[in-house]
């Protein structure tokens, strides 16, 4: 029971909880981390390897502190069959989603399922009342999943738009082509690092923590988080404008190279401090609930604990047996390995791929125009070797930007082929026309989610454990129909 205190009221007892409850939670957490050690290792590697998700390193320690701060929640443990049913069902669902994400190599899906599991085993063992108090600390863990890089091109577009608008306001002549901004003094490229995604994710994480700790009203929380999402986007546009404007007034003597990085970090530091100060406008004296001493102590159910342990362990056990079966099938197959010494460049362009099992390239003349073909084959996949991943890219975004993009469909010899056409341009005025598609289990698609779905079906049927990435490109004005037809003919030779 909760009640309000005044200065003359004696402080109530903090609710007590059995050490067995805390011990059960700690043991489960250790078993959970141990059972999914390989996935956690992949998570940690991504945190340190990708500057976009460096902030995620601090999320787990903060979650532990938040749980300790609300350790009184274990005193609300209750025995409820409905809680057990809901918790077990959700935990089974998370395990199934983890398997689907792992087999289809959708790392974010598997990792979201993994990081949601503590929510469900707390619900199963301790009940809904305990989960209500621990919901945010456990949900906060989900923010550590590396996800959201698909926002980068959209943020680059917004940043370029805002920069052009502000340059026009200050009457600075600017010509924009894709993510390249040309002013009289020089050329600027709104690269991935200029999208502001790191600043956006970090600010949202800080904002959620502030909203949980300091803001009680749901309306204030919603209003504050809306501001937290918008401020970094507009601030990044202002930062990009300042860099270009400094280059304009200094005749490119400042705000380039190392100066560009220094000014950018100083600006973001100032904006972060302003966001922290701005958040104080929403504070409403939120405190940890004061509760009376618990009269009942609920022991940990061994049956619930055993059920949770089995469900948590079943997904990694299934994956272990699946990989054993996969290795048997692969060892019985004969694969043709063709690896060229290097990936040739076409006017500075080439697909960015790594850890493929086989690679072929060829150049042939079609209607007097040279066309270059690339074929990357993955016979199997694992955590550090995937056909479709953020490491594998159609082009180097630091050099090229998209001038035109179209998803197309072709009926080729009775088979529907989905492919994508891109026109790429760089700062030197060079242009590349290219088409690409992924082939998985006999299906052609340029949609990464459909490719993942085909991979899941192929892997479950023990048919195809990887797939191919196919490219055809030319620096001449070769039509997309000519490129895709030549690519399919080449692949089926």
Kindly report, residue by residue over 102-116, the tens digit of the pLDDT: 988 888 999 999 999
- Interatomic CA distance for residues 241 and 219, integer angstroms: 33
Break the chain into its structural domains and give their ranges: 19-147+301-326, 149-264, 358-491
Which is higher by pLDDT, 187 or 116?
Answer: 116
pLDDT at 4: 38
> How far lies 184's CA from each of 181, 239, 318, 439, in Å?
10, 20, 62, 46
3-state secondary structure of 324: helix
Query: In this structure, what DSSP letter does residue 18 have?
Result: -
Which pTM does this prediction carry? Answer: 0.79
Query: 356-403 pLDDT, tens per residue?
Result: 988 999 999 988 899 999 999 999 887 778 899 878 999 998 888 888
Model confidence at 327, in pLDDT bands (50, 70, 90)? confident
- 276: its two tokens: 């922290």
pLDDT at 5: 38
3-state secondary structure of 456: helix
Query: What DSSP line would sit under 36-94, residue for residue?
Result: THHHHHHHHHHHHH-GGGGGGGGHHHHHHHHHHHTGGGGGG----HHHHHHHHHHHHHH
> How far lies 411's CA from each of 7, 108, 439, 447, 492, in Å?
79, 33, 15, 17, 15
- 379: its two tokens: 């016979």
- 204: its two tokens: 């949202």
3-state secondary structure of 467: strand
| Closest alpha carbon to 207 in 145, 279, 267, 268 | 279
> How far lies 200's CA from each of 96, 271, 282, in Å?
31, 11, 20
């Amino acid at each position: 029971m909760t009640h309000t205190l005044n200065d003359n009221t004696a402080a109530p007892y903090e609710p007590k909880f059995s050490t067995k409850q805390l011990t059960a939670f700690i043991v489960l957490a250790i078993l959970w981390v141990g059972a999914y050690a390989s996935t956690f290792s992949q998570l940690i590697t991504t945190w340190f390897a990708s500057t976009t998700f460096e902030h995620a390193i601090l999320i787990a320690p903060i979650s532990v502190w938040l749980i300790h701060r609300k350790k009184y929640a274990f005193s609300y443990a209750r025995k409820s069959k409905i809680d057990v049913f809901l918790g077990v069902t959700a935990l089974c669902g998370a395990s199934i989603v983890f398997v689907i994400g792992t087999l289809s190599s959708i790392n974010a899906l598997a990792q979201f399922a993994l990081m949601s599991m503590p929510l469900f085993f707390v619900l199963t063992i301790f009940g809904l009342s305990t989960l209500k108090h621990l919901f945010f600390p456990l949900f906060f863990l989900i923010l550590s999943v590396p996800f959201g890089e698909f926002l980068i091109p959209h943020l680059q577009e917004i940043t370029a738009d805002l920069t052009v608008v502000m340059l026009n306001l200050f009457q600075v002549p600017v010509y924009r082509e894709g993510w390249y901004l040309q002013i009289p003094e020089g050329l600027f490229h709104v690269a991935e690092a200029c999208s502001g995604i790191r600043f956006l994710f970090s600010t949202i994480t800080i904002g959620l923590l502030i909203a949980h700790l300091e803001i009680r009203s749901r309306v204030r929380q919603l209003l504050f988080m809306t501001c937290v999402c918008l401020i970094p986007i507009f601030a990044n546009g202002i930062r990009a404008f300042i860099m270009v404007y400094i280059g304009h007034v200094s005749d490119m003597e400042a705000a380039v190279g190392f100066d560009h990085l220094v000014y950018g970090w100083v600006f973001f530091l100032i904006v972060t401090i302003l966001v922290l100060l701005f958040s104080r406008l929403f504070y409403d004296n939120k405190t940890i609930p004061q509760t009376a001493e618990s009269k009942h102590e609920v022991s940990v159910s061994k049956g619930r604990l055993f059920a949770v342990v089995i469900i948590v362990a079943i997904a990694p056990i299934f994956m272990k047996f699946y990989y054993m079966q996969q290795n048997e099938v692969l060892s019985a197959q004969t694969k043709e390995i063709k690896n060229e010494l290097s990936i040739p460049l076409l006017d500075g362009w080439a697909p960015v791929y790594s850890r493929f099992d086989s690679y072929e390239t060829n150049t042939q003349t079609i209607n007097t125009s040279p066309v270059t073909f690339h074929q990357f084959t993955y016979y199997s996949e694992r955590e550090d070797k995937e056909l479709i991943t953020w490491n594998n890219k159609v082009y180097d975004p630091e050099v090229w930007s998209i001038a035109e993009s179209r998803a197309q469909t072709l009926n080729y010899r009775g088979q529907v082929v989905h492919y994508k056409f891109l026109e790429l341009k760089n700062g030197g005025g060079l242009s590349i026309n290219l088409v690409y598609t992924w082939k998985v289990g006999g299906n052609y698609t340029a949609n990464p989610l459909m490719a993942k779905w085909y991979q899941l079906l192929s892997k479950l049927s023990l048919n195809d454990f990887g797939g191919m990435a196919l490219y055809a490109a030319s620096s001449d004005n070769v039509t997309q129909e000519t490129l895709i037809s030549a690519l399919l003919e080449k692949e089926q030779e």
